[in-house]
């Protein structure tokens, strides 16, 4: 059995000649004009969009994409207005690629143009990690979806949606549940739970992402206060977003590679639905936490796990950072990186807090793949906001030793 995975392939167009660049720019400008025209006229059916875009000098691949996309803007995306930077969308019939190892850039794309015999080939710089999927497109082992072409200040980028089959994860009688806690101080904390015992925990520092987000907020606010040119603001924003995307990709890859070292791994994640609405850690912390894409990181872990044939489950996120993994009763976080279980009959006294949370996450999955409901016996969590999960600022760990403390984490 196999299931289908969707992935977006990325490529940068090799700097085109002046003539080709002018034709690409004319195509993009005409597409945006047609898009705004159809949207402003409130076209909400494919037929209505077709009547508006037919006179425009566009290739049929772009017109067909508009007929599908415009009706969704209001009905699906609830759009009230459009910005001016929409990418050029093309249906899958524009996915005409070729490869030759005799060329400096092996892959080329036939850029569609209006009229007969006007298309032209242009070389692509592809993401090396996606090379096998580009070959799958050529051999039709992967199915092409939509294409999107966007111009940045100094380059053109092509995004191609591809669907391809992967092996469906097989169920095991003896799975190893691996919980991942997503936070800010520790970007990802992973812990495998085998026979209720934590095994080989892993931590990925969040200092790089935290620094980038702080720098982005400060830089963009300074540029806006100086009335900097719009292209300059957009350029800096794209720089930080690309850097954060790189952080997310590397961290999610580390998480899946960590899971693969165990037999019959099952990744367990928290259900973070409506996390933004539930956070209340003060104005300063709320801004920081709301800016961090918890679900985005989880999504990339799930995508990579699916590609690797690893099953992913989601569990109830309540109290995972405030509950002792061993006795399942509420404790407290004495310091940000230190969890304390106050119950004398529990063999845990102090434990690394993020690893404790990850162990709790792993422990809440059950063999039937359902989220285990959990309610605390009583809510004795602190009222001073010191328990806003693991996504809070890092403080120094306690020097006091204890019988169950794993190596303390610090940036």
- Classify 223 as helix, strand or coil: helix
Tally DSSP H helices, then E strands, for the chain.
10, 15
Q: At what angle do helices 230-260 and 294-307 cross, to 10 degrees?
A: 50
Q: Which two tokens stand for residue 368?
A: 């039937």
List all residues 6 or more positions away from 20 whose beta carbon is below 8 Å from its beta carbon.
111, 120, 122
Q: Is the dihedral of CA 122, 128, 131, 133 positive or negative?
A: negative
176-210+239-365 is classed CATH 3.40.190.10: no
Return the bridge partners of 197, or none: 194
Q: Which two tokens stand for residue 96?
A: 């005409």
List all residues 6 or more positions away from 115 whose beta carbon is below 8 Å from its beta carbon.
none
Output the CA–CA distances (angstroms, integers) from residue 130 to 24, 72, 127, 137, 140, in the order listed: 25, 30, 5, 11, 15
User: ∠ CA(205), CA(297), CA(330), 5° rounding?
Assistant: 70
Which range, of 28-37, 213-222, 275-284, averages the lowest pLDDT? 275-284
Confidence of residue 169 (pLDDT cuts 50, 70, 90): low
Q: Which sequence spans correspond to the domains of the chain?
A: 4-165, 176-210+239-365
Question: CA–CA separation, 106 vs 121, rounded Å?
Answer: 12
The fraction of the chain above a pLDDT of 70, given in percent, is 79
**231 pLDDT above the threshold of 60:** yes
Output the CA–CA distances (angstroms, integers) from residue 250 to 19, 125, 206, 283, in the order listed: 38, 21, 12, 30
Confidence of residue 62 (pLDDT cuts 50, 70, 90): very high
Predicted local distance difference test score (pLDDT) of residue 103: 92
Q: What is the pLDDT of residues 239-285, one digit of tens each?
A: 877 888 888 889 999 999 999 999 889 999 887 654 443 444 444 43
Which range, of 83-92, 168-177, 370-379, averages the lowest pLDDT? 370-379
Structure pTM? 0.58
């Amino acid at each position: 059995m196999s299931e289908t995975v969707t992935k977006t392939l990325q490529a940068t167009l090799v700097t085109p000649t002046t003539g080709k660049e002018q034709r690409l720019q004319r195509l993009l400008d005409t597409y945006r004009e047609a898009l705004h025209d159809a949207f402003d006229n409130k076209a909400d059916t494919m037929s209505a969009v077709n009547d508006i875009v037919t006179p425009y000098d566009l290739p049929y691949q772009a017109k067909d994409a508009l007929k599908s996309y415009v009706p969704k803007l209001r009905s699906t995306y609830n759009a009230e207005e459009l910005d001016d930077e929409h990418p050029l969308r093309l249906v899958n019939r524009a996915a005409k690629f070729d490869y030759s190892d005799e060329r400096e850039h092996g892959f080329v794309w036939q850029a569609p143009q209006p009229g007969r015999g006007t298309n032209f080939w242009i070389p692509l710089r592809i993401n090396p990690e996606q090379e096998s999927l580009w070959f799958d497109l050529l051999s039709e082992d992967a199915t092409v979806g939509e294409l999107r072409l966007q111009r940045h200040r100094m380059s053109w980028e092509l995004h191609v949606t591809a669907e391809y089959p992967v092996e469906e994860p097989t169920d095991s009688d003896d799975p190893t549940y691996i919980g991942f806690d997503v936070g800010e101080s520790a970007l990802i904390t992973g812990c495998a739970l085998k026979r209720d015992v934590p095994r080989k925990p892993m931590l990925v520092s969040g200092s790089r992402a935290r620094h980038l987000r702080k720098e982005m907020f400060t830089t963009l606010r300074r540029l806006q206060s100086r009335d900097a040119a719009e292209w300059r603001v957009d350029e800096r924003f794209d720089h930080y977003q690309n850097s954060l995307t790189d952080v997310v990709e590397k961290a999610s890859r580390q998480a899946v590679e960590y899971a693969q070292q165990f037999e019959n791994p099952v990744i367990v994640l928290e259900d973070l639905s409506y996390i933004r609405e539930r956070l209340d850690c003060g104005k300063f912390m709320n801004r920081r936490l709301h800016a961090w894409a918890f679900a985005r990181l989880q999504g990339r872990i799930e995508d990579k796990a699916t590609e690797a044939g690893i099953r992913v489950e989601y569990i109830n996120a309540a109290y995972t950072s405030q509950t002792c993994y061993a006795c399942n009763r509420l404790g407290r976080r004495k310091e940000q990186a230190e969890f304390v279980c106050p119950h004398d009959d529990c063999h845990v006294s102090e434990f690394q807090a993020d690893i404790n949370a990850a162990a709790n996450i792993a422990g809440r999955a059950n063999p039937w793949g359902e989220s285990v409901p959990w309610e605390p016996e009583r809510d004795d969590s602190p009222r001073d906001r010191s328990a806003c999960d693991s996504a809070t600022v890092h403080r120094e760990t306690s020097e006091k030793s204890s019988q169950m403390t794993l190596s303390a984490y610090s940036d």
